[in-house]
A and B are shown apart, each in its own frame.
Chain A
């Protein structure tokens, strides 16, 4: 009966030299092809040029300012969307009656691509920052709600039976069983919400904004500064990666027992 240590075998953490070689090889081919004129230098500038452009954009502050504008919208919109999404999701998972009341509404509105209602929001709230933040919030709201609701509803009944048998009050059952038990789902709700919000932030910036990474992308396309386009794309990609892996690390600390980190699925224990 030795202590069993379950190593997380998340494939995402695995680093392979093969992948690195693949990426470096691709970049070298690109560099050579572009310099030798095998591919259009105008549309596919060599990676070294793109990196220089990126350095210049960082040095003159343009990309920093844009990234800050994008982050502001992203954080504000996500907070406004994810918070009520999780609150309602947990309550709907907890109460069958609330679920019956709201579920049809959610099922009907969830599949609508949120970018498509942006014009409607513009009509209601006018052109400007408020409309942008609202559409980001709406897009983050749904995945946060659905994920946390499913997590609460799928929590193993045996935990509630233990709580009941041990005489736990309704509040104890909520705060000690339901909330921590569904924490992994709530956290993946946060991550999904943020990922969707990033998508929407860039999309809306392409359409209508004065500053932001999406604006830079659109502007560099319209003025055919392709190396700036690529440089900005790198920043957007990095933003996504940092958000995702940052949350992963944070969640592993908040819920180290979660099946996601222990490499166990709850069905495997059964």
Chain B
């Protein structure tokens, strides 16, 4: 086990008391890819922000047990959008995680440049984010998180704003990057299909207050590609997840 959430709860008392998260507990193994799936408003982003240290929980704790190297940060997050700094070039953005760790400029720049070149972004080192498409920006943001080499990589619907076709390619690239640079990942999505494609495990959340309803192991072979959707187990898992969240989604559009 590398990471554990123990009994996390979060209560907002403003303007009236709302319980955003209640008794969330789970553990994650080294280099495991865990997807958290839930309908919008179930508190999955809130949970991720707590893990990222951006929001203190009302109760409970988060334990990182793999602290072999305290130089490495606990987490690095890929935000939904806008995560890249518009004033930094692509290479400086990717090197930012190393910069905050005090890696000298020459070293971090060459590491970032190498990393970018390996996925075919070598021609964009000195481009600014505004010169890139939305998909490319997210690729760069993901590379930054990987290069920062945190104990746990956090992703908050990184492909949520992209069109469906681009998203397919991005998912494939993410899986390749992850295979070549094994990391512990917690990935948030509302897309059940995406969760099954990417994850070793799916945590299904429901909201008000946010709780974990199911912990589903996805014991399907890798590498997974588009054809993997025809796998008999795919449908079974899809149905299992959908049944848990269906009523809540229905509630959300009829209220």
Contacts and interface: CB of A to CB of B under 8 A. Distances in A.
A162 B130 contact: no
B101 interface: yes
A255 B85 CA distance: 13
Contacts of A270: 81-82
B133 A257 contact: no
Interface in B105-137: 124, 127-133, 135-136
B203 interface: no
Interface in B141-174: 148, 166
B75 A165 contact: yes
B68 to A, nearest CB: 17
B199 interface: no
Contact of A166 (B97, B129, B136): B97
A86 B101 CA distance: 30
B135 A257 contact: no
A255 B96 contact: no
B82 A156 contact: yes
Contact of B79 (A1, A158, A257): A158
Given A176-B99, A183-B87, A269-B82, A166 B73 contact: yes
A128 interface: no
A257 B129 contact: yes
Contact of B100 (A1, A3, A4, A167): A167
Nearest to B121: A1
Given A1-B136, A159-B85, A257 B96 contact: no
Given A166-B148, A269-B81, A2 B133 contact: yes
A156 B86 CA distance: 11
Contacts of A206: none
Contacts of A172: 99-100
A4 B148 CA distance: 27
Contacts of A264: 130
Given A4-B131, A5-B131, A257 B86 contact: yes
A165 B83 CA distance: 11
A6 interface: yes
A35 to B, nearest CB: 54
A181 interface: yes
A111 B166 CA distance: 52
B236 interface: no
B100 A169 contact: yes
Contacts of B88: 176, 180
Contacts of A266: 86
Nearest to A269: B82
Nearest to A3: B131
Residue from B73, B87, B100 with most neighbouring chain A CB atoms (10 Å): B87
Contacts of A5: 131
Given A169-B100, A270-B82, A1 B133 contact: yes
Contacts of B124: 3
A247 to B, nearest CB: 19
Contacts of A257: 86-87, 128-130
B245 interface: no
A177 to B, nearest CB: 7
Interface in A154-186: 156, 158-159, 161-169, 172, 176-177, 180-181, 183
A133 to B, nearest CB: 34
Contacts of B87: 180-181, 183, 255, 257
9 contacts: A159-B85, A162-B79, A162-B83, A165-B52, A165-B54, A176-B88, A180-B88, A181-B85, A257-B129
Interface of B: 52-54, 73, 75-77, 79, 81-83, 85-88, 96-97, 99-101, 124, 127-133, 135-136, 148, 166
Given A183-B87, A264-B130, 19 more contacts: A1-B166, A3-B124, A4-B131, A4-B132, A4-B133, A158-B79, A159-B85, A162-B96, A164-B53, A165-B54, A166-B96, A166-B100, A168-B100, A169-B100, A255-B87, A262-B130, A269-B81, A269-B82, A270-B82
